[in-house]
Amino acid sequence: MKASAFLYPWDVTGDPAAPGLVAGLGVSRVTLASAYHSTRALTPRHPRHRVVTAEHAAVLYPPDAARWEGREPRPAEAGDWAPGDAWGEAADALARAGLEVSTWVVLAHNSLLGARLPHTSVVNAYGDRYPWAPCIAQPATRAYLTDLAAEAAVRPGARGTELESLGWYGLAHLHAHDKTGGVALGDAGQYLMSLCFCPDCRAGYGGRGLDADELAAAVRAALEPVWRGTAPSDGGWPGVGKLLGEETANATRVWRDETGRTLQEAAVAAVRAAAPAGFEVLLHADPVSYHCGANAGVDPAHILSVADGVVVPCTGGAGLLTPFAEQARPDTVLAANLTVVSGMGGSPHTLAADASRAAALGATELRLYHAGLASDTDLAAVREALGGG
C-alpha cells in the first residue's frame, strides 16, 4: 500500500540528511505540518537540536496579510521553532528527494486562541472554560477555521491535505502537566463534560427545544454520582442516554452533529475552491459522530460524500475502518494511521502485520506517525516492513 510519514518542518530544515532518510524508508509521500498546535518534540537525529518547543499554535508559513487584516480570530505566526516559510523550505527539500508532500492542518485545537480570545472557547456545564478547544458553533470561529483550512492546506507544491480536528474538541486533551485522570470517565462522561454552553451553543440547544440552564443542571446532576464513584459513565451512546435521558441526549447530539457536518462541508469546499485540480482532501476522522478530538467524530456516509477520504486511528486495532469501508467508493482513500514510535505506544516491529490487517478491513493507504519522533531502531523496523532502501 501507498504510505506517507508525518513530519514537522523542523525535522527537515537544518538537517540535509533528513529528506534522504525519509525517502529511504519506503514511503512515497510526507504529510508535513503547515498549521499545528503547541508541542514539545524530540528530534533524535537533528545536527543542531534534540528538543523543539513550539510555544503556541501557529501557522508554519507566512500567512496572507490581506486575508486576515482586521480580523479576529486570526492565525499566529510561529516563533524561532519554525521561522519564515518553514513549511515551504522543508517541502522543497523533501520534493528534491523524490517525495510527494501533503499539508497537515490542525484546526479546532488552539490554546493560544483561548488565551487571547477567551469567549471563543468551549464552556462546560460547570462554567469551566477549555482554552484548547475553540467552539465550532461560533460564527466568527467557523469563518476563521474555514479560511485557515484553505490557506494552510493549499501551499505551493502540496499534492493534497489532511485536516485534523475539524470538528468538536472537548475535555479529552493532554494539557500541560495533566491531572484529570482521578475519575475514570467513559464515553458517556466524556460527552457530558464536552457539551458546550457558550452563548451560541445555548441558542442552538434552544432551537432544539432545550432550555440551556435546565440542560446544564441536568448534566451536573447526571455526573454527580460519577464524581462520587458510585455510577459508571461508560456504555457508549446508550450510556449517555442513561445518564441524561434519551430525549435530551438525542437533542444535544442533533445540534452538535449538524454543527460539525456543516463546518466540515464549508472547510472542504473552501479548500477545493483554492486548490488546483486533483488536489486530495482527507479528514482525520472517527466514525462515531459524538466523539471529540483530533480525529473528529463524523457520519461515515456523509463525510465520504464531502471529502476524498479519511485518515483513521488504527494503533491497537483497525476496527474503526469498517464503518468507513462500508460507505467507500472505488476511489475513496481509507488511510490507516499507525504509530511507529515505540516510546509512544507504537509497534514498528509489527508494522507489516498491522498493515495487512488494516488492508483486510478496507485500508487503501498507510500513515506512519511519526518519522521525525522515531528512534533509529524504530525507523529500521519501518524500513524493513516497507521494503525501503
Nearest to 59 by CA among 93, 88, 99: 88
Say what the pLDDT of residue 389 is. Answer: 73
Q: State pTM to two decimals.
A: 0.97
Which are the contacts of 93, defined by CB distance < 8 A and separation ≥ 6? 12, 13, 16, 18, 19
- How far, in Å, are 56, 178, 347, 371, 378 from residue 341 at the CA level? 24, 22, 7, 8, 6
Backbone dihedral angles phi then psi of residue 210, each to the nearest 5 degrees: -110, 140
Say what the pLDDT of residue 163 is. Answer: 98
> 236-244 and 212-228 are packed helices; what angle lies between their axes, rounded to 10 degrees?
110
Say what the pLDDT of residue 176 is. Answer: 72
Say what the pLDDT of residue 179 is. Answer: 72
Taking the C-alpha atoms of residue 132 and residue 113, their distance in angstroms, rounded to an integer, is: 8
Say what the pLDDT of residue 88 is. Answer: 98
Q: Count of CB atoms within 10 A of residue 38's CB?
A: 17
The answer regarding whether domain 2-179+280-386 maps to CATH 3.20.20.80 reads: yes
**Tens-level pLDDT at each residue, the chain (389 residues):** 999 999 999 999 999 999 999 999 999 999 999 999 999 999 999 999 999 999 999 999 999 999 999 999 999 999 999 999 999 999 999 999 999 999 999 999 999 999 999 999 999 999 999 999 999 999 999 999 999 999 999 999 999 999 999 999 999 876 676 777 788 899 999 999 999 999 999 999 999 999 999 999 999 999 999 999 988 899 999 999 999 999 999 999 999 999 999 999 999 999 999 999 999 999 999 999 999 999 999 999 999 999 999 999 999 999 999 999 999 999 999 999 999 999 999 999 999 999 999 999 999 999 999 999 999 999 999 999 999 87
Say what the pLDDT of residue 177 is. Answer: 67
Say what the pLDDT of residue 388 is. Answer: 86
Q: Is 120 left (phi over 0), alpha (psi -120 to 50) or beta?
A: alpha
Say what the pLDDT of residue 172 is. Answer: 84
